[in-house]
Chain A
Amino acid sequence: MADHPRVIVVGGGLAGLAATVRVAEAGVPVDLFSMVPVKRSHSVCAQGGINACNTVARQQGYSEWQHMDETLLGGDFLNHQPPVFEMTHWAPKIIDLLDRMGVPFNRTKEGFRDLRLFGGSIFKRTHFAGASTGQQLLYALDEQTRRYEAEGKVNKHEFWEFLWPVIDDNGHCKGIVAQDMRTMEMKALRADAVVMATGGCGMLYGKSTMSVICTGGAASRCYQAGAWLGNPEMIQVHPTAIPGEDKCRLMSESARGEGGRVWVPRKKGDDRKPADIPEDERWYFLEEKYPKYGNLVPRDIATREIFFVCQDGYGISGGNMVYLDITHLPMETKNKLAAILEIYEKFTGDDPRFTPMKIFPAVHYSMGGLYSTYTAVDDARGMVSGAHNNMMTNIPGLYAFGEVNYAYHGATRLGANALLSCIFDGLFCGLSVANYVRDGVAHEQSAGQAPDSLFQKYVDQEQAKVERLIANDGQNNPYEIWREMGEEMIASATVVKTEDRLNQAYTKINELKEQFKSIKLSDTGTWTNQNLSFSRAVGDMLKYAETILAGSIARKESRGSHYRLDYPKRIDDPFHKTTLVKYNAAEDKPEITWEDIPLPLVPLRDRSYGKVEAAAEKDEKKEEATSV
Chain B
Amino acid sequence: MIASSPPKTFILKIKRSLGEGKPSHWESFEVPIRPSMNIISALQYVAANPVTTDGKNVEPVVWDAGCLEEVCGACTMVINGHVRQSCSCLVAENLQDGNTITLEPMSKFPVVRDLWVDRQRMFDNLKKIHGWVPIDGTHDLGAGPTETQEEQEQRYAYSRCMTCGCCLEACPQFTKDNDFKGAQVFAQIEYFNSHATGKELAAERLDVIMEPGGITDCGNSQNCVKVCPKELPLLDAIASLGRKTTVHAVKRFFSGKK
Interface residues of A, Cβ cutoff 8 Å to B: 21-22, 25, 36-37, 39-42, 44-45, 93, 96-97, 99-113, 129-130, 132, 135-136, 139-140, 143-144, 146-147, 149-150, 182, 211-213, 244-247, 249, 346-350, 427, 477, 479-480, 483, 522-523, 525, 527-528, 530-531, 534
Contact present for A349 and B132 (CB under 8 Å): no
- Known A107-B149, A347-B36, A527-B18; judge A42-B57 contact (CB<8 A): no
- Known A96-B140, A101-B135, A150-B127; judge A212-B65 contact (CB<8 A): yes
Contact present for A213 and B44 (CB under 8 Å): no
B235 at the interface (CB under 8 A from A): no
B88 to chain A, nearest CB (A): 5
Contact present for B19 and A527 (CB under 8 Å): yes
Chain B residue contacts of A534, Cβ below 8 A: 47
Which of A44, A101, A527, A530 lies in contact with B71, CB distance below 8 A? A44
Contact present for A245 and B41 (CB under 8 Å): yes
B34 at the interface (CB under 8 A from A): yes
Contact present for B152 and A522 (CB under 8 Å): no
A205 to chain B, nearest CB (A): 15
Residue of B nearest to A534 (CB): B47
Chain B residue contacts of A249, Cβ below 8 A: 68-69
Chain A residue contacts of B92, Cβ below 8 A: 349
Q: How many angstroms between the C-alpha atoms of A346 and B36 in the bound complex?
A: 10
Which of A42, A348, A527 lies in contact with B67, CB distance below 8 A? A42
- A-B complex: 4 closest residue pairs judged by Cβ atoms: A245-B41, A99-B144, A479-B48, A111-B146
Chain A residue contacts of B247, Cβ below 8 A: none
Q: How many angstroms between the C-alpha atoms of A144 and B67 in the bound complex?
A: 22
Chain B contact patch, size range: 35 or more
Q: How many angstroms between the C-alpha atoms of A37 and B18 in the bound complex?
A: 21
Q: How many angstroms between the C-alpha atoms of A211 and B87 in the bound complex?
A: 12
Contact present for B152 and A45 (CB under 8 Å): no
Q: Which of B23-53 contact A (CB under 8 A)?
A: 34, 36-38, 40-41, 44, 47-48, 50
Which of B50, B69, B163 lies in contact with A45, CB distance below 8 A? B69
Contact present for A211 and B66 (CB under 8 Å): yes
With most chain A CB atoms within 10 A of its CB, the pick from B19, B34, B68, B74 is: B68
Which of B62, B74, B88, B90 lies in contact with A36, CB distance below 8 A? B74
Chain B residue contacts of A480, Cβ below 8 A: 48
- Kindly specify which of B100-108, B111-119, B171-179, B209-217 makes contact with the partner chain: B111-119
B197 at the interface (CB under 8 A from A): yes
Interface residues of B, Cβ cutoff 8 Å to A: 18-19, 34, 36-38, 40-41, 44, 47-48, 50, 57, 59-60, 62, 64-74, 87-88, 90, 92-93, 112-113, 116, 118-120, 123, 126-127, 130-135, 137-138, 140-144, 146-149, 151-152, 155-156, 159-160, 162-163, 192, 195, 197-198
- Known A246-B44, A477-B48; judge A109-B127 contact (CB<8 A): no
Contact present for B44 and A427 (CB under 8 Å): no
- Known A479-B48, A528-B113; judge A212-B140 contact (CB<8 A): no
Q: How many angstroms between the C-alpha atoms of A22 and B138 in the bound complex?
A: 7
Contact present for A105 and B47 (CB under 8 Å): no
Contact present for A528 and B38 (CB under 8 Å): no
Contact present for B137 and A40 (CB under 8 Å): no
Chain A residue contacts of B38, Cβ below 8 A: 244-246, 347
Chain B residue contacts of A147, Cβ below 8 A: 130, 132, 134
A91 to chain B, nearest CB (A): 12
Which of B41, B133, B144, B149 lies in contact with A244, CB distance below 8 A? B41
Residue of B nearest to A93 (CB): B140
B251 to chain A, nearest CB (A): 25
Contact present for A132 and B72 (CB under 8 Å): no
- 15 A-B pairs with C-beta separation under 8 A: A25-B138, A40-B73, A44-B72, A97-B135, A108-B149, A109-B149, A110-B146, A146-B127, A149-B127, A212-B65, A246-B38, A347-B87, A522-B59, A528-B112, A531-B47
Q: How many angstroms between the C-alpha atoms of A347 and B41 in the bound complex?
A: 12
- Known A105-B152, A135-B162, A244-B41; judge A100-B127 contact (CB<8 A): no
Q: How many angstroms between the C-alpha atoms of A550 and B219 in the bound complex?
A: 62
Contact present for A102 and B48 (CB under 8 Å): no
Q: How many angstroms between the C-alpha atoms of A348 and B91 in the bound complex?
A: 10
Contact present for A349 and B195 (CB under 8 Å): no
- Known A36-B66, A143-B133; judge A245-B72 contact (CB<8 A): no
With most chain A CB atoms within 10 A of its CB, the pick from B133, B142, B163, B195 is: B133
Contact present for B160 and A132 (CB under 8 Å): yes
Contact present for A348 and B44 (CB under 8 Å): no
- Known A99-B143, A107-B147; judge A530-B62 contact (CB<8 A): yes
A105 to chain B, nearest CB (A): 7
- Known A107-B152, A245-B36, A347-B88; judge A427-B138 contact (CB<8 A): yes
Contact present for A100 and B88 (CB under 8 Å): no
Chain B residue contacts of A132, Cβ below 8 A: 71, 160
Chain A residue contacts of B116, Cβ below 8 A: 528
A48 to chain B, nearest CB (A): 14
Residue of B nearest to A348 (CB): B36
Q: How many angstroms between the C-alpha atoms of A118 and B131 in the bound complex?
A: 32
Contact present for B133 and A102 (CB under 8 Å): yes
With most chain B CB atoms within 10 A of its CB, the pick from A39, A45, A96, A132 is: A39
Chain A residue contacts of B71, Cβ below 8 A: 44-45, 132, 135
Chain A residue contacts of B118, Cβ below 8 A: 182
Contact present for B131 and A143 (CB under 8 Å): yes
Q: How many angstroms between the C-alpha atoms of A99 and B135 in the bound complex?
A: 10
